[in-house]
Amino acid sequence: MGAQNGKDLLIKMDMDGAGAFVTVAGLRATRLTFNAETVDVTNLDSAGGWRELLAGAGVKSAAISGSGVFRDAESDARVRQTFFAGEVAGFRVVVPDFGLIEGPFQVTSVEYAGSHNGEATYSLSLASAGALGFEAL
């Protein structure tokens, strides 16, 4: 797999709950993180005192973050509405030459900023809220 263009890493939001995914407008930077908690099962009989982990156990989670230019587009309005309603919505992340990650996420943070002589910007954070699907590209 060769180098990829960062602008091709896209966050898409289900606009109507029926699978109408639209790219979140104005994003310049995006990040996707996967986590898996470990379950330590080390005991007195563990070989050499080395830590042992229980395979397949623990909580899995994913986090998405993005930042960009505020455009007041339909997707911006949907993100705000989802945040203030405390809803869980469908999101899809396109990772070039890797795959599609899709599932429920909660908008955990929305931040707006601007300077006197610059553009209005925003940042958002999402936390997984259920099982995620993966489809290789």
User: Which sequence spans correspond to the domains of the chain?
Assistant: 6-136
For 49-106, write each residue's pLDDT tens digit. Answer: 999 999 998 999 999 999 999 787 888 899 999 999 999 999 999 998 889 999 999 9
Was domain 6-136 assigned CATH 3.40.630?
A: no
- Residue 18 falls in which region: left (phi positive, over 0), alpha (psi -120 to 50) or beta: alpha
Whether the full predicted model's pTM is greater than 0.85, yes or no, is: yes
Among 12, 32, 131, 6, which residue's Cα sits nearest to residue 79?
Answer: 12
pLDDT band at residue 1 using 50, 70 and 90 as cut-offs = low
- 7-11, 53-57, 98-102, 127-131: least confident range: 7-11
The per-residue b/e assignment along 59-77, b for 16 or more CB within 10 angstroms, e otherwise, is eeebebbbbbeeeeeebbe
